[in-house]
Amino acid sequence: MGAMSVRPDTDAAAQQAAGKAPHRAGFACFVGRPNAGKSTLTNALVGQKVAITSNRPQTTRHTVRGIVHRDDAQLILVDTPGLHKPRTLLGERLNDVVRTTWAEVDVIGFCLPADQKLGPGDKYIVKELAGIKKTPKIAIITKTDLVDSKQLAEQLLAVSRLGEELGFEWAEIIPVSAVKDTQVGLLGDLIAPLLPESPPLYPEGDLTDEPEMVMVAELIREAALEGVRDELPHSIAVVVEEMLPREGRPADKPLLDIHANVYIERPSQKGIIIGPKGKRLKDVGTKSRKHIEALLGTPVFLDLHVKVAKDWQRDPKQLRKLGF
Ligand SMILES: Nc1nc2c(ncn2[C@@H]2O[C@H](COP(=O)(O)OP(=O)(O)OP(=O)(O)O)[C@@H](O)[C@H]2O)c(=O)[nH]1
Ligand SMILES: [Mg+2]
């Protein structure tokens, strides 16, 4: 991923001779506890939804790349699952994904919500980051719209002290609000100069490298997460089985048939997901269909089925089937 050897030759010398700063391109990952605001920040920087978000912890389950195209640089943001104490095999897999990612990127952005005290979970993460000596680390205080300036100042101080305690210096410390779009552009300005000189690594206009089927499944999961509580958010997985243009439609009135399964872990969860007279599942379908149609730019017929994959979070075979 971040290896110099795979980068095409730059014409940096020519650019410098012309008085222009060389173009940069590379990878920056956002790490932090679940719910810290990593995916929301990724979307805000990209300017479009590439990663789903929710107020439930552990929403992100795989790395999602969001690409920011600028004149001077191409930022490839790698949004990772929140790092947490694993309680299931899925949890362990997610943590592995995060650790592999930060070993491969050019910049690490540690995300800490402004409205929550810097806790053991954060210290644990930063301690591990301190061990990755060569990679510049930016501390990002997220959700600044939720606190007053005094609280924000305390958080800035706390994170700066934590760096000192662990014997390293943050390359930058920056407060942002993704929801209010405060300092999001500035964060991009701070990341860009930390990337290696390189021509763009992705074609102009690509905002993510997520396959469409995965994005569609994620949009359905995002809608399904809304309003469910306790263990249920963790139990939901979505797989798109098929996406096919409906046959026999006139060229100016296409329809895309999408068949997807919503998996849960226990038969007892089925009723909650489906809701009285199927109302909840219908709402999930309606809501996600709007987002899917916007993403794909075509009318969609969405066919959702609820299935039980018993204890899939703990079962290696089931995990493989669900793509983990
Ligand atoms: N007020 C406010 N809320 C935010 C902001 N950024 C994120 N949130 C909310 O915080 C919650 C978590 O956001 P996510 O972006 O899903 O968090 P995450 O770090 O990706 O979480 P995981 O994927 O579970 O690790 C959501 O309800 C967001 O709407 C912000 O700038 N301000
Ligand atoms: Mg996320």
What is the 191 CA–ligand 1 centroid distance (Å)?
20
* Token duo for residue 73: 């640089």
Decide whether any atom of ligand 1 lies within 6 Å of the 63 Cβ. Answer: no
pLDDT for res 134: 92
Is the model's pLDDT at 43 over the cut of 60? yes
Summarize pLDDT for 286-301 with one digit per residue, the tens.
999 999 999 999 999 9
- Of 278, 277, 300, 279, nearest to 219 by C-alpha is 300
Summarize pLDDT for 303-315 with one digit per residue, the tens.
999 999 999 999 9
Q: How far apart are CA 180 and CA 164, in angstroms?
A: 30
Summarize pLDDT for 220-266 with one digit per residue, the tens.
999 999 988 888 999 999 999 999 999 999 989 999 999 999 999 99
180 CA closest ligand 1 atom index = 31
Decide whether any atom of ligand 1 lies within 6 Å of the 58 Cβ. Answer: yes
Q: What is the CATH number of domain 212-321?
A: 3.30.300.20
pLDDT for res 3: 42
pLDDT for res 181: 97
Decide whether any atom of ligand 1 lies within 6 Å of the 81 Cβ. Answer: yes
Helix axes 184-191, 38-46, angle to 10 degrees: 80
Summarize pLDDT for 53-64 with one digit per residue, the tens.
999 988 999 999
Decide whether any atom of ligand 1 lies within 6 Å of the 160 Cβ. Answer: no
Is the model's pLDDT at 321 over the cut of 80? yes
Listing DSSP states for 19-65 in one string gives T-PPPEEEEEEEE-STTSSHHHHHHHHHTS--S---SSSS---S-EE
pLDDT for res 228: 87
Pocket test for ligand 1, best of 35, 146, 152 (most atoms within 8 A of CB): 35
Locate CATH 3.40.50.300 in the chain.
12-194
**Residue type for 226, please?**
E
The CATH number of 12-194, from 3.40.50.300, 2.40.50.140, 3.30.1440.10, 1.10.357.10, is: 3.40.50.300
Is the model's pLDDT at 103 over the cut of 70? yes
Residues less than 5 Å from ion ligand 2, measured at CB: 38-39, 59-60
Distance of CA 48 to the CA centre of its chain: 12
Name residue, tokens 């701070």: 190
The mean of the pLDDT values for the chain is 92
Locate CATH 3.30.300.20 in the chain.
212-321
Summarize pLDDT for 145-156 with one digit per residue, the tens.
999 999 999 999
146 CA closest ligand 1 atom index = 1
The SS3 of residue 260 is strand
The residue-averaged pLDDT of 37-61 equals: 95
**The model's pTM:** 0.90
The SS3 of residue 149 is helix
| Backbone φ, ψ for residue 173 (5° rounding) | -125, 120
Summarize pLDDT for 154-203 with one digit per residue, the tens.
999 999 999 999 999 999 999 999 999 999 999 999 999 999 999 999 99
Is the model's pLDDT at 2 over the cut of 60? no
Summarize pLDDT for 6-30 with one digit per residue, the tens.
445 555 566 666 777 899 999 999 9
Name residue, tokens 């002290």: 161
What is the 34 CA–ligand 2 centroid distance (Å)?
7
pLDDT for res 311: 93
56 CA closest ligand 1 atom index = 24
